[in-house]
């Protein structure tokens, strides 16, 4: 099966989820389930590391928005780490650049263990 | 003296209607946008919009009998146009709750990054057209 993305198993506390490659309709269900699982497990601060993400579509942004809104109801937060200009640009033309807490970085993160592909 | 119309170039891609194949649609659109001479930002915008259109066709439309949706890119020197056609009937959904539907969000996104967006019923399906002009 073709795979243009990689979702890493969360590590650390608060949990960091690393997403690499291109986030689209194919990756959205896995991303949604992973974020939902962390919230159900009781985490209120979740970090999604998109520094290795080169593309994000509207469905994936909708998935992030839903998790963000759910966490906020519990006074929690979904923090995003973005490195790629195209990904930041997508949040901008979605009008959501200021809706999320977005930390910009060009550093390559060194944590996380490959879980599945 | 009237200049002759620039030659029209077209490329086709029949894409298996499955989310796992969307990256191929993006490569197809991105490659055409690069060849057309768009800068990096416009290439991304064009590929982004194409991805949204094909995602809609894959998720909400219906494929041809051979399991594909049909993509086409045309250029006329001044503008680049992306088409995707499927066999489903498009019914824009109005949601009554306060959550914008994925499809609604996709359409709004597409409209924001191209110059023209057209969704129209054709013989037995739906055709979406996206056009982006040179600046």
At A33-73, the pLDDT tens digits run 999 999 999 999 999 999 999 999 999 999 999 999 999 99
Strand-pair category, A77-82 with A45-56:
parallel
| Chain A hits for B24, Cβ within 8 Å | 2
Mean pLDDT, range A75-99, rounded to an integer:
92
Mean pLDDT, range A9-33, rounded to an integer:
96
Contact B53, B82 (CB under 8 A): yes
Rounded Cα gap, residues B11 and B75, in angstroms: 9
pLDDT of residue B2: 63
- Is A89–B44 a contact, with Cβ atoms under 8 angstroms apart? yes
Q: Which of A2, A22, A58 sits opposite B52 (nearest CB)?
A: A58
Please, which pLDDT band fits residue A30 given cuts at 50, 70 and 90?
very high
Distance of residue A2 Cα from the nearest chain B Cα, in angstroms: 6
Token pair 């439309």: residue: B61
Q: pLDDT at residue A110 above 90? A: no
| Chain B hits for A4, Cβ within 8 Å | 22-23
Distance of residue B30 Cα from the nearest chain A Cα, in angstroms: 12
Rounded Cα gap, residues B21 and B23, in angstroms: 6
Which ipTM score applies to this complex?
0.85
Please, which pLDDT band fits residue A117 given cuts at 50, 70 and 90?
very low
Mutate to test the interface with B, among A1, A28, A59 (most CBs of B within 10 A): A59
Percent of chain A with pLDDT over 90: 76
User: A105 or B78: whose pLDDT is higher?
Assistant: B78
Mutate to test the interface with B, among A58, A90, A93 (most CBs of B within 10 A): A58
pTM: 0.87
Residues of chain B with pLDDT under 50: 94-100
CA nearest B28: which of B92, B86, B67, B72?
B72
């Amino acid at each position: 099966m073709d795979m243009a993305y990689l979702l890493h198993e969360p590590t650390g506390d608060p949990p960091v989820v690393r997403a690499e490659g291109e986030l689209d309709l194919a990756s959205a269900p896995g991303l949604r389930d992973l974020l939902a699982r962390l919230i159900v497990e009781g985490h209120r601060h979740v970090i999604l590391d998109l520094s290795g993400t080169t593309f994000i579509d509207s469905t994936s942004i909708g998935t992030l928005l839903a998790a963000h809104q759910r966490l906020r109801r519990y006074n929690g937060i979904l923090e995003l780490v973005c490195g790629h200009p195209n990904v930041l640009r997508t949040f901008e033309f979605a009008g959501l650049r200021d809706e999320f807490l977005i930390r910009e970085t060009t550093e390559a993160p060194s944590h996380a263990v490959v879980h599945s592909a | 003296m009237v200049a002759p119309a620039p030659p029209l170039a077209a490329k086709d891609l029949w894409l298996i209607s499955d989310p796992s194949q969307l990256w191929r649609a993006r490569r197809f659109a991105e490659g055409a946008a690069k060849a057309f001479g768009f800068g990096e930002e416009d290439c991304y915008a064009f590929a982004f919009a194409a991805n949204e259109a094909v995602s809609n066709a894959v998720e909400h439309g219906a494929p041809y009998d051979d399991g594909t949706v049909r993509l086409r890119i045309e250029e006329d020197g001044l503008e680049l146009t992306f088409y995707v056609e499927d066999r489903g009937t498009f019914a824009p959904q109005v949601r009554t709750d306060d959550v914008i539907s994925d499809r609604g969000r996709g359409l709004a996104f597409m409209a924001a990054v191209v110059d023209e967006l057209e969704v129209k019923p054709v013989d037995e399906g739906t055709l979406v057209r996206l056009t982006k002009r040179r600046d």
